[in-house]
Amino acid sequence: MDVLADRILIADGAMGTMLQAADLTLDDFDGLEGCNEILNVTRPDVVRGVHDAYLAAGADCVETNTFGANLANLAEYDIPQRIRELSEAGARIAREAADAASTPQRPRFVLGSIGPGTKLPTLGHAAYATLRDAYQENAAGLIEGGADALIIETCQDLLQVKAAVVGSKRAMAELGQSVPIICHVAVETTGTMLVGSEIGAALAAIEPLGVDLIGLNCSTGPAEMSEHLRYLSQHSRIPLSVMPNAGLPVLTADGAYFPLTPVELAEALERFITEYGVGLVGGCCGTTPEHIRV
């Protein structure tokens, strides 16, 4: 991933968007309706198809289907003991897809997705140590499955971020293998993270943890992220990354609709690259292969 030093990488971050559009049955989910991570073992062909679509569209990096492979999410399905298994399976699928699309001139990379879950330690939902140990299992599975880097994303609580970063580093020590860590916070339309932290506080808390890239994803579109990213560009001592949604969601009778067209999103990301020096860009909710292709 030292390729970041000399060129821009484009990543997909919208696995859920594509899986929601797939024609999947309850049997595909092994009876665990909505548990996308179980598809890594029940329908790896569907997950592989999503990766292939984004790679064909020009993505340099694909994210693993493991955003919910954490203690809080899998406990809701009574399978928290499968965190490492499902993480490894998701990473292996992405690894196979990336390797198949790679050439000597253009390698492709796998970002191991570590989602926040729904338990915020700052609010007392779960103990820090419990979350840290579960994140260690998540990260270990991703590394064992072949992830080139870990992306701790959609972070809503700075103590949750610390648990994920420390857990990831413990996994690396356990396996005797080191990979870069990307850390994305999610800043709401209120201008703060869910528990009230501003972007300056996030940078001050996260940078000393020793992550390799810092940035934002989810919650909002590029317009709402701009000032937060500007702050990071002026104050961060590590490279930047950003994966906005395709605009703010518009609720319709058919569910949430994300209004930014591929061209509009591409223009926003280009501004982030030229104005703020972002090295890794991509899309989160509502982004499709067409958004990446442009």
> How distant, in Å, are the alpha carbons of 2, 18, 54 from that of 213?
11, 26, 22
pLDDT, residue 13, reads 64
Residue 254, pLDDT score:
78
| Cβ-based burial of 102 (10 A; exposed 0-12, middle 13-18, buried ≥19) | middle
Question: How much is the pLDDT for 8?
Answer: 60
Q: What was the pLDDT predicted at 22?
A: 84
Residues of the domain holding 283 = 2-293
Q: Which pair of tokens denotes residue 68?
A: 């919910």
Q: Residue 100 maps to which CATH number? A: 3.20.20.330
Per-residue pLDDT of the chain (294 residues; tens, 9 = 90+): 444 444 467 766 678 768 877 889 999 999 999 999 999 999 999 999 999 999 999 999 999 999 999 999 999 999 999 999 999 999 999 999 999 999 999 999 999 999 999 999 999 999 999 999 999 999 999 999 999 999 999 999 999 999 999 999 999 999 999 999 999 999 999 999 999 999 999 999 999 999 999 999 999 999 999 999 999 999 999 999 999 999 998 988 877 789 999 999 999 999 999 999 999 999 999 898 899 887
pLDDT, residue 5, reads 40
> What pLDDT shows up at residue 2?
47
Residue 6: the pLDDT is 44
Counted domains in the chain: 1
> What is the structure's pLDDT at 145?
98
Give the pLDDT score at 256: 79
Query: For the whole model, what pTM was predicted?
Result: 0.95
Indicate if the alpha-carbon torsion angle 195, 231, 264, 243 is positive or negative: negative
How many whole angstroms separate alpha carbon 147 and alpha carbon 151?
10
Q: Which residues of 248-266 are buried (b: 16+ CB within 10 A; e: fewer)?
A: bbeeeeeeeebebebebbb
Residues 6+ apart with CB under 8 A from 233: 240, 275, 276, 277, 278
Beta strands 240-243 and 149-155, pairing class: unpaired
